[in-house]
Chains A and B, each alone.
Chain A
């Protein structure tokens, strides 16, 4: 007997429809899975067999053929388990499909209960678009599935719940009769919402201890540069000895970022869904992403990849901030891979398993020591590195990557006296308000693009530079031997400084202020004297 069910696959950030066809026919009892399954999917056979038995059904002692159509598309992951298992139950006559058409998503445990899967949001969206509005998902993914307008998402806890749904009111008795008393699967709850309310809001903000700027003493320049960077989406590099407060300042970033708008929030939530970070979470990702991967992170973790071609940190930071502490300690390959996302706002991962393209429009904030011991250039402590080593250390970050950063701040350690005396500096709320206002000003002027992403010609056309400002821009460019890229970068930073002051135009003093912030691709230490 043949049964056909609908489920979905996620490829990159988009979903596509998959039909699960199950044929149970007399013959030698073997189960075959066809249609380009990967390793995790091939193991579905064993999971499904265990789940069917332990949920109180019988695994048919017949020839079982499972086809995943369309057959030419490679399929990954374990989200098909539920559809396969229910298909086997229907095809073997244990459940009569009287409940209408249901799309099924979920991974099975051997005890018949359902596990959360990643990518439910785009998969549900795909199913709804294809007209399959009634969808069963694991309880932990229900909140995420319900974000899609028009979807009728039912949370299921186990295989027997799903069987009941598919059987419908009339078939329910038959299915219930098949349940053995020993089955350890919880019964479906009347609301069809198998689980207690999700415990946390959906978010791509890394779990760092939040810091308020009022608690960051001294570091006036770095605070200023951070404000400029966040207001104009400029990539920022903080250089300073250990204890200067680089990481502290970075931990203040989440509170300074304006929330995502509706469209951005949906994009971020889809990313979180595909990365499998939405299980047990509710709502859209409203907070701007802030990712802080450790410097031992692998290429796959940062850029994306692995057997499932999962999105990496650069994609999780899409529309938000990627903070890389100890930049020079990251693998060179990993750092060089950052160039594509910084350039085109997306990342392409190509593997034997196929190729996917993820969005990665991120803002980079990086921190590093000036040398291995951390004290090169410090006035109060000698650097203990061998001669030439500080230069080599800085060179671990390649020129092309540095050239994609807009601002560089050299931080010094704050003298202990400054930590104790004086009034606390401005708090995060005040600074965040300025950042929001500056971003709004830039958005309206630039047509939605932050200053840092404006093209060279656009910044000079839209920037509102007065005559003296233009002459000063030329003058600084000539004196500092700036390249065209450098001039545009200077103009963009100046534009953001003016935005923070609420000025529609850019005057000469603003250009001079921007010129004081250093170009990260700038001259090495030796030549800075």
Chain B
């Protein structure tokens, strides 16, 4: 059974509080569609279904309410500017149909076509990353933008936020997969980020706009976070964390999984190290290696990216070496590049190591920043571009 009425009924039923994935699929399965479920409810005859007899009273009443006012769910969507893709629609992402528990309805804001972009990579990690983790997440996101890939993440604080923000800043497209309703997508502090992200990207989730997140909604969301991408990169994650949970979903779904290694004994990367030891996750050795590994995944990446933009490994733009890069710099910049090239450093360390006057060191560091060879994370400068490949 399908058609416009069934689709509307599908959205109305999925938006009822208390109707989760299990009730939805059981009721729709037993009644032969969502419209018949609502019809039964309107007559007060849900009890005719085997599952209907076991429904809690409150849920029963809620379905009846929705049945008597079938336009309400759509009105809520229209009001919030939220679009839907149901499993009945042709645009439903094919990756989701393979899930054990596909969401009946995807709710989204922004550009729905991003879900079908040819290249999508999830970047996930802890809510409380180290400075280096932030730097890495930002660098990965910028690299992915350069590869014309869509960056998928969870809109949480920490790695997620950095990945989204760096993508937006680099002019890329990013998708936020949320575990709440669209009325509160992510933490309030990310309202500005969500606004910027929606200019070119999208926010999607499986809960109706008014739904409040509960204990289970975020872990369940993680299966979408991995499913909507072709590869998942875990940047920094403690052993028990949402990012590790996402990584396991990725493995179950047969996605390519990368984990950034850390030092043994470091709590923040313990989850990544365990993934590397116990699963087939690949270590994230460097950005060049990441590009090479992704090239295996996307054959079109090498030699040229569709869309006409040459990729960094296409041969058109040869990768600049560390030594070549240094020759392009003035003496003060070169001195600063040597310091930041050997590891993250604040301006204090740059001044102390180079012995340059503060104004000169600051000026040289800004030059490197403007070249994109040094990025600022908190108060720390981290090498990027050719400076990230010291001999």
Contact at B158–A412, with CB atoms within 8 Å?
A: no
A387 on interface, CB distance cutoff 8 Å: yes
B34 on interface, CB distance cutoff 8 Å: no
A220 on interface, CB distance cutoff 8 Å: yes
Interface residues as binary, B113-153 with A (CB distance below 8 Å gives 1, 0 otherwise): 00000000000000110111011011000000000000000
- Cα A388 to Cα B156 in complex, Å, equals 9
Contacts of B92 in A (CB 8 A): none
Looking across the interface, which residue of chain B has its beta carbon closest to that of A411?
A: B379
Contact at B131–A379, with CB atoms within 8 Å?
A: yes
Contact at B157–A516, with CB atoms within 8 Å?
A: no
Contact at B358–A224, with CB atoms within 8 Å?
A: yes
A501 on interface, CB distance cutoff 8 Å: yes
Looking across the interface, which residue of chain A has its beta carbon closest to that of B332?
A: A509
Contact at B348–A391, with CB atoms within 8 Å?
A: no
B253 on interface, CB distance cutoff 8 Å: no
Contacts of A391 in B (CB 8 A): 157, 187, 189
Assess A509 versus B363: contact at CB under 8 Å? Given A220-B358, A529-B162: yes
Contact at A377–B187, with CB atoms within 8 Å?
A: no
Partner of A527, one of B137, B165, B351, B360: B165
Residues facing A in B346-391 (CB within 8 A) are: 346-348, 351-352, 358-360, 362-367, 369-370, 375-380
Contacts of A259 in B (CB 8 A): none
Contacts of B351 in A (CB 8 A): 220-221, 224
Contact at B358–A512, with CB atoms within 8 Å?
A: no
- Cα A376 to Cα B378 in complex, Å, equals 9
Contacts of B379 in A (CB 8 A): 377, 409-412
- Cα A391 to Cα B367 in complex, Å, equals 29
Contacts of A528 in B (CB 8 A): 376-378
B104 on interface, CB distance cutoff 8 Å: no
A390 smallest CB distance to B (angstroms): 8
Q: Which of A383, A387, A409, A418 has the most CB of B within 10 A?
A: A387
Assess A517 versus B362: contact at CB under 8 Å? Given A382-B268, A388-B189, A529-B135: yes
B166 on interface, CB distance cutoff 8 Å: yes
A510 on interface, CB distance cutoff 8 Å: yes
A392 on interface, CB distance cutoff 8 Å: yes
Interface residues as binary, B55-71 with A (CB distance below 8 Å gives 1, 0 otherwise): 00000000000000000
B104 smallest CB distance to A (angstroms): 30
A456 on interface, CB distance cutoff 8 Å: no
Assess A512 versus B366: contact at CB under 8 Å? Given A218-B352, A388-B187: yes
Assess A392 versus B189: contact at CB under 8 Å? Given A219-B348, A220-B352, A516-B347: yes
Interface range, A side: 35 or more
Interface residues as binary, A479-500 with B (CB distance below 8 Å gives 1, 0 otherwise): 1000000000000000001001
Contacts of A218 in B (CB 8 A): 348, 352
Contacts of A514 in B (CB 8 A): 362
B52 on interface, CB distance cutoff 8 Å: no
Contact at A221–B131, with CB atoms within 8 Å?
A: no
Contact at B362–A516, with CB atoms within 8 Å?
A: yes
Contact at B366–A377, with CB atoms within 8 Å?
A: no
Contacts of B347 in A (CB 8 A): 220-221, 516
Interface residues as binary, A402-423 with B (CB distance below 8 Å gives 1, 0 otherwise): 0000000111101000100000
Interface residues as binary, B30-56 with A (CB distance below 8 Å gives 1, 0 otherwise): 000000000000000000000000000
Residues facing A in B326-340 (CB within 8 A) are: none
Residues facing B in A421-476 (CB within 8 A) are: 475-476
Contact at B165–A512, with CB atoms within 8 Å?
A: no
Contact at B158–A387, with CB atoms within 8 Å?
A: yes
Contact at B348–A221, with CB atoms within 8 Å?
A: yes
- Cα A405 to Cα B342 in complex, Å, equals 34
A221 smallest CB distance to B (angstroms): 4
Q: Which of B130, B158, B352, B359 has the most CB of A within 10 A?
A: B359
Contact at A379–B344, with CB atoms within 8 Å?
A: yes
Looking across the interface, which residue of chain A has its beta carbon closest to that of B377?
A: A529
- Cα A516 to Cα B158 in complex, Å, equals 24
Assess A513 versus B362: contact at CB under 8 Å? Given A218-B348, A387-B127: yes
Contacts of A524 in B (CB 8 A): 189
Contacts of A395 in B (CB 8 A): 189
- Cα A412 to Cα B347 in complex, Å, equals 10
Contacts of B190 in A (CB 8 A): 526
- Cα A500 to Cα B362 in complex, Å, equals 15
Contact at B348–A412, with CB atoms within 8 Å?
A: yes
B309 on interface, CB distance cutoff 8 Å: no
B193 on interface, CB distance cutoff 8 Å: yes
B287 on interface, CB distance cutoff 8 Å: no
Contact at A513–B366, with CB atoms within 8 Å?
A: yes
Contact at A529–B134, with CB atoms within 8 Å?
A: yes
- Cα A218 to Cα B351 in complex, Å, equals 10
A114 on interface, CB distance cutoff 8 Å: no
Looking across the interface, which residue of chain A has its beta carbon closest to that of B381?
A: A516
B267 on interface, CB distance cutoff 8 Å: yes
A513 smallest CB distance to B (angstroms): 4
A515 on interface, CB distance cutoff 8 Å: yes
- Cα A385 to Cα B351 in complex, Å, equals 31
Partner of A379, one of B166, B352, B358, B380: B380
- Cα A513 to Cα B358 in complex, Å, equals 8
Contacts of B135 in A (CB 8 A): 529
Looking across the interface, which residue of chain A has its beta carbon closest to that of B165?
A: A527
Contacts of B367 in A (CB 8 A): 512
- Cα A525 to Cα B267 in complex, Å, equals 22
Residues facing A in B76-104 (CB within 8 A) are: none
Assess A379 versus B169: contact at CB under 8 Å? Given A512-B367, A513-B366: no
B161 on interface, CB distance cutoff 8 Å: yes
Interface residues as binary, A337-351 with B (CB distance below 8 Å gives 1, 0 otherwise): 000000000000000
16 of the cross-chain contacts (CB-CB < 8 Å) are A221-B348, A224-B362, A377-B378, A391-B189, A411-B379, A412-B346, A412-B348, A418-B352, A497-B359, A512-B362, A513-B363, A516-B365, A525-B378, A527-B165, A528-B377, A529-B165
Given contacts A391-B187, A411-B379, A497-B359, 17 further A-B contacts (CB under 8 A): A220-B347, A220-B348, A221-B351, A221-B358, A224-B351, A379-B344, A382-B130, A387-B127, A387-B128, A387-B156, A500-B359, A509-B363, A512-B370, A513-B358, A516-B369, A527-B165, A529-B166
